[in-house]
Amino acid sequence: MASLKRDEKNQSEILSKKYAGDQKQMLLDCGYSEKAVQYFIEQPYMGSLPDADQISDMLGSCGDTMKIFLKIDDNTISDVRYQVLGCPGAISASMAAVDLVKGKSIEQARNLNDGDVFKQLVDIPVKKHHCIQLAVKTLHKAIDEYRNGHSELKDVKCPSVCSAPQDCCKK
């Protein structure tokens, strides 16, 4: 009986490894770079932060949703997590965005644009570029909402290159 259970466990491990390999190959074939696939599979910043200073969410035009958790210490983004109900593009873009803003000042993080995330991912399919926009807009929204709750930070100038002017200029 014990050996039957062990066989079943081995079988399911083999199948899940095979599925992960198939999934990786499918993504590579679709035009995702190795780096983008790695972000999607490892999902290093997926989850929540119980002591977050800001939690914001955004619904994309495609219907996918992201929630972001920011930990901010002394005007610095010290930690970030995303929860993503979405596609591989959304997951890899949000994970890449964290690597680009963690340890940066709020101003530097607010200057993050879609091109920065695309470079970090190396490549994703053209039809998935809007997923990068969703990751960046979610981050921008969280920073703007954090600043609105901290009036001493409101005077910070709008970045000259802004990928979501409709979000920050409305305020």
Q: Which residues bind ligand FES (CB under 6 A)?
A: 60, 62, 64, 86-87, 89-90, 128, 131, 134
Please give the structure tokens belonging to residue 86.
């979405």
Q: How far is the CB of 137 from ligand FES (least distance, A)?
A: 11
For residue 68, count other CB atoms closer than 10 A to its CB: 28
Q: Which strands sit side by side in the sheet containing 65-73, from one edge to the other?
A: 54-59, 65-73, 76-85
Q: What's the min distance (Å) between Cβ of 27 and ligand FES? A: 13
Query: CB 82 → ligand FES: shortest distance, Å?
Result: 12
Q: Which is nearer to ligand FES, 111 or 138 (CB)?
A: 138
Tokens of 142: 């969280």
Closer Cβ to ligand FES, 90 or 98, answer by number: 90
Least distance from C-beta 14 to ligand FES, angstroms?
A: 30
Comparing CB distances to ligand FES, the nearer of 31 and 103 is: 31
Element (H, E) at 20: helix 2-30
Question: Which residue bears the tokens 């890449």?
Answer: 96
- Toward ligand FES, which CB reaches closer, 130 or 150? 130
